[in-house]
Amino acid sequence: MQIPSGMFISEELRRRFAGATRVLVLTGAGVSAESGVPTFRGGGDTAVWKGLPFDVISSAHMVQQDLPAVWEWFDYRRDLLKSLEPNAAHKTLADWQHRFEDFTLVTQNVDGLHQRGGSRDVIELHGSIWRARCISCHSRYEFSAEELRPQECVGCGDAVLPDVVLFGELLPTGAFERAVEKAAACELCLVVGTSALVYPAAGLPELAKASGAFVCEVNPERTPLSDFCDEILMGKAGEVLPLFAESREP
Ligand code: BJW
């Protein structure tokens, strides 16, 4: 059954949420929109940097052409993030990790807001803006908002690049495999704030559904996944997710 408007959560979804043990949530840029992070597509505040669309500046090709420009784009985004806070959606998902026996949070986001909101063991499919990796030896460097990012690899002296997955790059080893395993085993799959256009991430809800899970989308706009979801809750993540609290006591 699909519920096309409003904040109404069906009895069936409430019942499934109340009884579920294995839950997987896939998030995208929309989950951070209410914190003030621009989305990539849709939502009006789409990411463009100095006239370059994000799929140009966030590309492996641009890393080869102009790495300083790529760093400038990521430095700008990290700077923006310093003044932003996790929102109600991040916090609700952090609570859910204590509510379900087997809860998996898979994100395409690189902003670290899930972790700042209290989530642990987040599967980051597209890397993190708070890490750099060496272009040659692949050493990784994590840094906080207060620290300067590394300028070069301490080990081999070669250039470092943001540790994010650019178009055409492979996802980090193990991350997608873990997500696939959990998607295939979950009973309830929520797809929150993603345009569901980028693969292989967008294939996870399809896998969950094919494995028997109930799939629900939370998004103010329809996506290519909407038609195949069991339920769609058209609204903002920070407004819709807290409504689930009524379905289950902690
Ligand atoms: C709200 C809201 C609110 C607003 N509440 N919601 C199969 C078919 C076709 C192509 C491919 C395929 N398999 C692989 C590909 C190629 C490619 C791909 O998918 N291309 C498609 C675009 C056509 N995939 C890849 O290249 C991936 N690598 C790969 O597959 O490697 C193997 C391979 C190698 C070589 C060739 C082929 C295969 C890697 C993908 C990496 C994606 N990287 C980026 C950039 C990261 C760095 C950076 O941050 O700059 O990741 S792209 C960008 O899109 C970013 C995001 O994580 C990703 C997904 O976007 P997301 O999160 O869905 O955000 P939006 O903005 O698109 O949507 C926001 C949504 O929120 C909207 O729906 C709003 O309505 C909603 N919203 N406010 C809830 N308050």
- Give pLDDT tens digits for 121-167: 999 999 999 999 999 999 999 999 999 999 999 999 999 999 999 98
User: Ligand 1 — pocket residues by CB below 6 A?
Assistant: 28-30, 33-34, 39-43, 54, 58, 108, 110, 126, 164-170, 193-195, 197-200, 218-221, 223, 236-237
Q: In this structure, is the dihedral angle defined by the CA atoms of residues 107, 228, 178 and 153, taken in order, positive or negative? A: negative
Task: Give the pLDDT of residue 48.
Answer: 66
Task: Give the pLDDT of residue 4.
Answer: 39
Average pLDDT, the chain: 92
Say whether 4 sits in a helix, a strand or coil. coil
The pair of structure tokens assigned to 183 is 């998607």
Which of the residue ranges 10-19, 137-146, 156-165, 241-250 would you say has the lowest mean pLDDT? 241-250
DSSP H/E element including 93: helix 88-99
Residue 110, pLDDT above cutoff 50? yes
Q: How far apart are the first and last CA of the chain?
A: 27
Strands ordered across the beta sheet of 160-164: 140-142, 127-134, 160-164
**Atom 15 (ligand 1): residue with closest C-alpha?**
199
Give the pTM.
0.94
Tell me the CA distances in angstroms from 230 to 1, 183, 245, one per residue in order: 6, 16, 20
Band (2; pLDDT cuts 50, 70, 90)? very low
Separation between Cα atoms, residue 92 and residue 32, nearest integer Å? 13
Look up 114 and say whether it is catalytic: no
Separation between Cα atoms, residue 34 and residue 27, nearest integer Å? 13
CA 224 to ligand 1 center in whole angstroms: 13
**Atom 8 (ligand 1): residue with closest C-alpha?**
199
27 Cβ contact list (under 8 Å, min separation 6): 93, 105, 106, 107, 108, 109, 114, 192, 193, 194, 237
Report the share of the chain in percent with pLDDT over 90.
81
